[in-house]
Chains A and B, each alone.
Chain A
Amino acid sequence: MDKVLSNKKIIALYVLPSLLLILAIVYIPIVLTAYYGLNEWNGIGAMTFVGLDNYLALFKDTTFWNSAWHSLLLAVFSGISLVLYLIVAMVLAARIKGANLFRKIYLIPMLLSSVAIAQLWLKIYHPTNGVLNSVLESLGFANPPAWLAESSLVLFALFIPILWQYAGFYILIYYAALKNIPASLEEAAKIDGANALQIAWKIKLPLVMEVIKVTIVLAVVGSLKYFDLIFVMTDGGPNGASEVMASYMYHEAFRAYDFGYGSAIGFFLLVICLAVTWVIRKLTASKDTIQYS
């Protein structure tokens, strides 16, 4: 039997197409990104090797650091919003009738394309005819701001649709984790006189900690590489006030035709994402795992 199941020809036939594809489309390009970053190149003509010039320039480029700062802010917002999602999930898991329907409704925005969401929210934020300012005006606020045109507001304004889009996703994950907690634990705590808050804080929270750690990584790394929605809604504007790392990379490569510098940004983005994943995993690593079965 082992002989049949270790037939090398068949293994190659089953594995190689996918393996070659992923090497060609994922792994070779990230090596090339690092290499392109060492060159001056407009994407079409000849490459000129310039050593670490692009990478050194990156460290002095205030536009880049601003975009990195904006990405970091989005990551912090996303991290904080996880608390909101967790609270809603806890409410949902509190033996609510119709919980299944609620979590499905919450999930709908997550299934739609970021482009459609971005276009819809462009209309919501429309300075004169958008639903947000119409409502604000009817409530008596004269001259509500043009949300996406003000440097000081634009990142917050962009974060609302992100919050809206991903709510159902994280609530779904937390809800599933909370539902995994045996009901006997909660009942035992109730009998001992614990109130709902104590149960949530002292019993449920520690038991879903592993899932929370995973979602922190997802939210932070996801924010660091956020692109579609911002690209469509503001294209990094006004005046770079909402430029993030991925959009800056795109602009440098495909608008300014500086493929070498764009690649350096792309490589830096890769390193940051991997490093942040590693650091968060380290920081939140716990020595003792909790058993609750």
Chain B
Amino acid sequence: MVTGNVKIRNDLSEARLGISSKLGYGLLYAVLIVVAALQLFPLVWLLFFSLKNNQEVFNLPPLSLPMNPRWENYEKVWSAGNIDVYFFNSVWITVAATAITVILGSLVTYAVTRMKWKGSSLVLGLFMVAMMIPVHSTLIPLFSLFNKVGLTDHPLSLILAYVAFNMPITIMILLGFYYALPREVEEAAIIDGCSVNRMFFQIVFPMTSSVLATTAIINMIYNWNEFIFVNTFISSDAYKTLTVGVQNFIGQYTTDWGAIGATLMISILPILITFLFLSNRIVEGIAAGSVKG
């Protein structure tokens, strides 16, 4: 009886507000579309000028389509600008650091959530507090420590730093998943005499594949984009990754807009392509790892 009354009143008010609410929705859409345009516009402009030569960039309107796209800009920077070397360094360092972080992080998370030992909450606390420490405050000592052990200008310095600084966020994302994971299978396995190692590697680790994918993608994005460590620790071109390589390359070719555009496009394309295919997972990972500063 009561609900019936309410419903009628609601229908009435909606009918009365029909036109103005449609107008309201139009306005909301307009806001959202303007924001989307602002977010995309710089990138579209970048794509366009990466396919033009200087004359076309300077004389044609900014958003004019590149009528005869100059793909040679890409060819030129790929080989002549060392961009190929930087690109492959970025790929293998990103992949190596991500794989190590995800595996080590899983081991810690398993030990913290499943195994019984004194100090487990203290250890977890150490990992979580590390999230609040600014990278910059560790930069000078890290540089001198790596220098002492001969790791400056060595890719291992980057991998160690990436693994350590991404470990807390990785564990944090994994924790929620591990806590929610049902324990019945593991209990049965233990009763059957399964060892902890086998249980972790053959039962638990495979069960976490979806959250592993999420953490791996987040790790990859952070590692791919990292700048200050490469810039500080690495001095020879052979070990530089794209962020620093791009920075150096552009420093030398400040006047060739097409070449600069092509370099930037090459450095962001892997991320854009990944996003195209895995956007849901990336959104999920960013939301889950949002506490990282």
Contact = CB atoms under 8 A, between A and B. Distances in A.
Co-assembled chains A and B: yes
Interface of A: 1-2, 4-8, 10-11, 13-15, 17-19, 21-30, 32-33, 36, 43, 88, 91-92, 94, 96, 102-116, 119-121, 123-124, 129, 131, 134-135, 138, 164, 167-169, 172-173, 176, 190-191, 196, 214, 218, 221-222, 224-225, 227-228, 231-232, 246, 249-250, 253-254, 259, 262-263, 266-267, 269-270, 273-274, 277
23 contacts: A5-B190, A21-B160, A24-B160, A30-B133, A33-B137, A33-B140, A94-B28, A106-B39, A108-B39, A108-B275, A111-B271, A120-B42, A120-B46, A123-B257, A129-B257, A131-B62, A167-B35, A173-B287, A218-B290, A250-B136, A253-B140, A269-B134, A277-B132
Interface in B271-292: 271-272, 275, 279, 282-283, 286-287, 290-291
Given A5-B115, A21-B164, A113-B243, A43 B144 contact: yes
**Contact size range, B:** 35 or more
A119 B286 contact: no
Contacts of A232: 247
A108 B279 CA distance: 10
B260 interface: yes
A116 B83 CA distance: 14
Contacts of A15: 107-108, 111-112, 123
Given A88-B32, A113-B243, A225 B197 contact: no
B126 interface: yes
Contacts, number: 268
A32 B279 CA distance: 41
Contacts of B228: 227-228, 231, 250
Contact of A113 (B130, B134, B267, B293): B267
Interface string B24-43: 11001101100110111011
B181 interface: no
Given A224-B134, A225-B293, A253-B139, 10 more contacts: A5-B114, A8-B117, A17-B107, A28-B145, A91-B32, A114-B227, A116-B268, A119-B246, A250-B228, A274-B132
Contacts of A134: 61-62
Contacts of A115: 225, 227, 243-244, 246-247, 267
A293 to B, nearest CB: 18
B211 interface: no
Contact of B138 (A14, A30, A110, A277): A30
Contact of B39 (A24, A109, A116, A263): A109
B208 interface: no
A5 B293 contact: no
A266 B227 contact: no
Nearest to A262: B140
Contact of A29 (B39, B142, B226): B142
